[in-house]
Chains A and B, each alone.
Chain A
């Protein structure tokens, strides 16, 4: 059964540097790293000490608030460094990989016979639980919860995002196993969304409710789909999983091993030869970045897409959740009369002497320049043009800024994640940090209400 979702409000940002559909193998990385910023809201407690030898899939640390939730190493090797920041907060954990990889093996789990408790503890022990995120709060799911539904978006509409159908080809069995297991964890449905046109590899899944989505970005964001399919009410929880993470969950269930392998799209206008690479979570970005070649020196490496990714660097590491790495030029230069001359080479949602509306097919080469300074909220009605959720975006942002818990709750903060505000942030004339505002609002609400 499939139901159509048609999104009208939104904006497609066409950028230079989409990945060509060819798959290369990235050079093996010497050091792999887990960046703890990827796991928002987790207080890590180390299980192994510096210098310890660990296998791939062996736990490195656990969540202080839930000791069963283990975070595992993507590779086998020696734990060489635990980098700490202010107040000894752990920032990154680095592992020097063995030449011969050793895998920690779990007994296989028969998904069809296992109870939900068994599935939960298997995923927690196997290190796959962190792939399951929850809303409200956009954090790693609390295994004690009982989600009303699980949502998987199989349609990537973000600028230059990896093509899921290409990246996950041949992984149908793993995905099916993961989806079946997830179906056990909710009394509701597992909703899978795919593009309206084209043959998605997710179209043939059993035991899911399939939705066909069309329209501009953010049609592919899971938050948009939740809002259209079954919006979250106060007190309810839904879980979300990304398709590339389903593969790793499925492989754990089928073979009993945590396989950190992942197909990553290297994209962006600073990449000479943007394409797909087969590599592992936590790998050094340089292992494939220079394989494709780069333009110039002054560019930014982003773990993820340009709208929601995390800033990384040329000697950074692939994030835990990412299947896209973007490199775009830094925009740290002045532009003479940049505020009043006609603009042809940047994307805009208005027509105020900006001409991107004339060129819907043109691919733009955007830099990281903010194109203006931070201001108070002035213009109204702009966000609504690109924000398809049944929520008042500016009012919710303001409620978060003034920390008004009641307003935040009533205006729908439970339903959103920071990424839902990435497009409003992009077009914001006042250059407000929308995603950060929402993140702080969610954290406050989580802390106060729980």
Chain B
């Protein structure tokens, strides 16, 4: 008996039972279901939600692979200094680097998927609906936006919080107001701030070693792992530039959250998502424009001499406007987070406004609040909250157009009973 018919029989056995959604989730993972249309459109397009989510995951796989190597690369660079005459094969794509990634990044991924999907399955069984695919993308986003040394238990707690409070209480996939991955990130940030910010969390072992040194250990070297934004926030622009070139920032050979560093791979992923028509190009383009505009404004303020070199904002404000796009998590956020269709603006015009404000506010938070050198996730969460308002006004525009048309419409004759007036042949 083939696997197909065996699974079909099992499905029939589960039908109507409590555990049916759990079985069906696994079954439909292996086989596209045998469901047929009833009425309405008798044929249907090829895409379903699984395929859509899978496309986003495909766009994230290069980022994940890069992050595995970068975890090791940053660790060893922190210990031994960055190599001179950098060569991709010799210094970056090495087993040593990969091993650090495998023991640090893959467990984050496993915990994120394991815990998140467990919560989804439990809710699906309790509420008796199918397991929806929303978490497939969230699950891979989460490990990519946290610091590499985030303890697994901490991530598990955050995932449970994010999925339950961020999504399930609103009714599950498609109903949530806030991006679940960013809800998880925000929970971590505010619940465990010492693990999530500062100059000691971005590189593997940096925090551990500094604690040991503080405790009096003398036989180990400290690892410094300040991010570029961290340098700038402390007005150490010159030190940063001595350490990292613009190309380092673009390719992503810099410290940061696990998968956010490579603007190049985010660009590739973004192009892929736009080409496959899965993510909104409107949001991506307008977010880029928004961040450039804000960056230009700050550059202008510095050029005018309104901000002196001693100001605490000088480092970030004088940072070339376009470089904001290749440092920190801005590129990653624009491509993979802002484009979440459920929590973003849903109308085409609304998407322009929504994206622009995300870019604009991200750079603003970055510059003005050095306590949050990374403003992207806060900007997106803020705009998630305002997305329905933006849509509301865009849709009102359509409604008002309809009202105006009604006002200008020619009224056809009706008699006092509201019945049509008999039209004489000669009047026509």
Chain A residues with CB under 8 Å of chain B are: 13, 15, 113-117, 144-146, 148, 159, 183-185, 187-188, 231, 233-236, 300, 302, 306-311, 326, 328, 330-340, 343, 346-354, 356, 366-382, 384, 390-392, 394-395, 410-412, 418, 422-423, 425-431, 433-436
A376 & B46 in contact (Cβ 8 Å cutoff)? no
In the bound complex, CA of A380 to CA of B344 (Å): 9
Chain A: minimal CB distance from B366 (Å):
28
Chain A: minimal CB distance from B282 (Å):
8
Chain B residues with CB under 8 Å of chain A are: 4, 7-8, 28-52, 54-55, 58, 130, 132-134, 171-175, 275-278, 280, 282, 341-342, 344, 346-348, 351, 395, 398-399, 401-403, 405-406, 409-410, 412-414, 419-425, 427-428
Taking A338-B31, A352-B278 as contacts, is the C-beta distance between A372 and B48 under 8 angstroms? yes
| Interface Cβ pair total, 8 Å cutoff | 267
For chain A, what secondary structure do more than half of its interface residues adopt (helix, strand, loop), or is it mixed? loop
In the bound complex, CA of A343 to CA of B45 (Å): 11
Contacts of B28 in A (CB 8 A): 339, 373
B428 & A184 in contact (Cβ 8 Å cutoff)? yes
Q: Give 8 closest A-B pairs by Cβ, nearest first.
A: A372-B48, A338-B32, A146-B420, A376-B174, A346-B46, A339-B50, A334-B31, A435-B40
19 residue pairs bridging A and B, Cβ less than 8 Å apart: A13-B43, A146-B412, A183-B428, A187-B428, A188-B412, A309-B42, A334-B7, A339-B32, A347-B45, A352-B54, A354-B47, A370-B48, A371-B44, A371-B46, A373-B35, A378-B174, A380-B280, A381-B351, A390-B398
Of the residues A145, A309, A370, contact of B420 by C-beta under 8 Å:
A145
B31 & A412 in contact (Cβ 8 Å cutoff)? no
For chain B, what secondary structure do more than half of its interface residues adopt (helix, strand, loop), or is it mixed? loop
Closest A residue to B281 by beta carbon equals A381
A372 & B428 in contact (Cβ 8 Å cutoff)? no
Contacts of B280 in A (CB 8 A): 380-381
In the bound complex, CA of A368 to CA of B37 (Å): 6
B45 & A346 in contact (Cβ 8 Å cutoff)? yes
A372 & B43 in contact (Cβ 8 Å cutoff)? no
B48 & A431 in contact (Cβ 8 Å cutoff)? yes
Contacts of A352 in B (CB 8 A): 47, 51-52, 54-55, 276-278
Taking A115-B425, A428-B45 as contacts, is the C-beta distance between A370 and B276 under 8 angstroms? no
Of the residues B45, B406, B420, contact of A349 by C-beta under 8 Å:
B45
A340 & B401 in contact (Cβ 8 Å cutoff)? no
Of the residues A115, A339, A394, A422, contact of B41 by C-beta under 8 Å:
A422
In the bound complex, CA of A428 to CA of B40 (Å): 12
Of the residues A115, A311, A418, contact of B42 by C-beta under 8 Å:
A311
Closest A residue to B407 by beta carbon equals A233
A233 & B45 in contact (Cβ 8 Å cutoff)? no
In the bound complex, CA of A380 to CA of B282 (Å): 12
Of the residues B40, B45, B344, B419, contact of A434 by C-beta under 8 Å:
B40
Closest B residue to A423 by beta carbon equals B41
Of the residues B4, B41, B402, B413, contact of A435 by C-beta under 8 Å:
B41
A311 & B47 in contact (Cβ 8 Å cutoff)? no
Contacts of B171 in A (CB 8 A): 376
Taking A366-B43, A435-B41 as contacts, is the C-beta distance between A411 and B395 under 8 angstroms? yes
Contacts of A395 in B (CB 8 A): 346-347, 395
A146 & B50 in contact (Cβ 8 Å cutoff)? no
Of the residues A307, A368, A372, contact of B36 by C-beta under 8 Å:
A368
Of the residues A300, A338, A375, A431, contact of B173 by C-beta under 8 Å:
A375
B40 & A430 in contact (Cβ 8 Å cutoff)? no
B342 & A378 in contact (Cβ 8 Å cutoff)? yes
Taking A115-B425, A146-B413, A339-B48 as contacts, is the C-beta distance between A332 and B341 under 8 angstroms? no
Closest A residue to B174 by beta carbon equals A376
B423 & A144 in contact (Cβ 8 Å cutoff)? no
In the bound complex, CA of A43 to CA of B32 (Å): 41
B420 & A351 in contact (Cβ 8 Å cutoff)? no
Of the residues B7, B44, B398, contact of A426 by C-beta under 8 Å:
B44
A411 & B48 in contact (Cβ 8 Å cutoff)? no
